[in-house]
Amino acid sequence: MGTTWTKSQACFLWFLLTSIVVLFASNLEAGAQRRQARRPPPARQPAPKPRVDYSKFSHRTHVEQQKLACNACHKFPSKNWKEVRKGDDAFPDVTDFPEHAACLECHRTQFFARERPAPVICSNCHVAVTPRNTARYPFPSLGEPFLSSKQGQNFVSEFKVAFPHDKHVDVVGWLPFGRRRSDVALALKRNAHASFGRGPAQDAKSKGCAVCHETYQPQGKSPDEYVTKRPANLAEEAFWLKKGAFKSTPISHAACSTCHSKDSGIAPDPSDCATCHKLATATSEPLRDFDAKLAQTMGINNWLMLRKWSRRSAGRFQHDYDVHRELSCTDCHNPTVMNTLDERTFVTVKSCGGSGGCHIETNLDGALNYEIDQRRKNPNFQCVKCHIMIGTNAVPQNHLDAIPKPASK
């Protein structure tokens, strides 16, 4: 005969079973927590290293981290130095990227990576990497052939060039340029060392600057004042780039090789790359008064103009302006203090005052005086005498310091 459960007995039995299950589960969880507490904490995993982009070569990595000397990769002269420059223009130089052997010791994995259409590391030197096309980009030391190429359009060098203007301005003006390279080398052997020894004393109207720096694309007799056609509806005070705004600068080793060669024996030797080429440091630089979109609107695609303009802090300045044209370079630039590793030494605000006041006076006749006075009256006033894009910034202290103080009575 079966057992009959009353309702109260069934409820008690259900409660008892539920309590046993809950207690059992609690004991399991507590045990798991005790075991977890006794375990040592897991070892902290190191943060994953950022992935290296081997399509962007870095000299800084190789020089500062790997401690490689220049000649560990670059061999002087390159095998193709007689091919990339022809005839009398050819001279021993580093004119090509390092050969594969210089890279393989450290980058064999990247060279043979299964990447399509080609290993990305190859794109640093090669236009296209195929068995039928092994052409390389022009090497940066060639100057214009590289800078006017697709690879050179947006090129920003990791290096700055250390060039002592004070040691060159006189001797460069004296050298018999235009003659054969061998004649120059002979003249240098006889005279240049004595010329370099003269130090910073130099003719204030020295002609030496023009050997390396010439007005770039001056207007001359052309009726066109601007580099590109100025829109008819453009406001009168609006900026549009004029011809003759910039000066040229040596962009290859060609100018240097006239004096610094194996024949002349004048230091630095052409193979001593690190004497002139210095990795840029994190020094403060002047603000850039340049807007790439504005340059594009104007149709400026000349690589030299874009490079020069993009480094300017006074974008409106024009070397070929009638008054500026009559000045000597040394009226504004002081070769004795110029340091090519620090652009702030190229020209100072006080240079704009000139010997006769020019743009800086003791009264509001000076452009700088007037614009600073207007800024004091109206914080929204835009300085447009020198600037294009940064004329609404706070007036720098060196601008305020450039204004001569009134004579005390």
* DSSP string computed for 125-161: TBS--BTTB--BPPPGGG-HHHHTSTTTTT---SEEE
How far is the C-alpha of 243 from the C-alpha of 246, rounded, in Å? 8
**215 backbone dihedrals φ, ψ, rounded to 5°:** -65, 125
Q: Yes or no: say if 360 and 402 are a contact pair by the CB < 8 Å rule.
A: yes
Identify the H or E element spanning 277. Answer: strand 277-279
pTM of the model: 0.76
Question: Quick one: pLDDT at residue 31?
Answer: 66
Domain positions in the chain are 59-156
Q: Is 387 exposed, middle or buried (0-12, 13-18, 19+ CB in 10 A)?
A: buried
Residue 5 region, left (φ>0) first, then alpha (ψ -120 to 50), else beta?
A: beta
110 HSE (CA, 13 A, CB side): 18
**132: CB partners within 8 A, 6+ apart:** none
End-to-end CA distance of the chain: give it in Å, rounded.
132
How many Å apart are CA 367 and CA 384, to the nearest integer? 10
**Widest CA span in the chain:** 135
Instruction: Classify residue 199 by burial, with Cβ atoms within 10 Å: 0-12, 13-18, 19+.
Output: exposed
Burial class (CB in 10 A: 0-12, 13-18, 19+), 222: exposed
Closest CA to 288 of 388, 159, 216: 388
Please answer whether residues 328 and 258 qualify as being in contact, where contact means their C-beta atoms are separated by less than 8 angstroms. Answer: no
Q: Which helix (H) or strand (E) holds 278?
A: strand 277-279
Q: Does the CA dihedral 173-176-180-186 come out positive or negative?
A: negative
Amino acid at 173: G
What is the C-alpha separation between 27 and 9, in angstroms, rounded? 27
Q: What is the pLDDT of residue 175?
A: 57
Give me the average pLDDT of each 10-residue run along the chain (409 residues).
63 71 67 66 72 91 93 95 92 95 93 88 87 87 90 87 88 57 48 40 58 91 94 92 94 88 86 93 81 95 92 94 88 90 88 78 89 94 94 92 75
- Asked if 244 contacts 320 with a C-beta cutoff of 8 angstroms, the reply is yes
Q: DSSP string of 169-194? A: HHHHHHS-TTS-HHHHHHHIIIIIHH
Residue 247 phi, psi dihedral angles, 5° rounding: -110, 145
In the block, which residue shows the tokens 């030496």?
208
CB 92 within 8 A of CB 81: yes
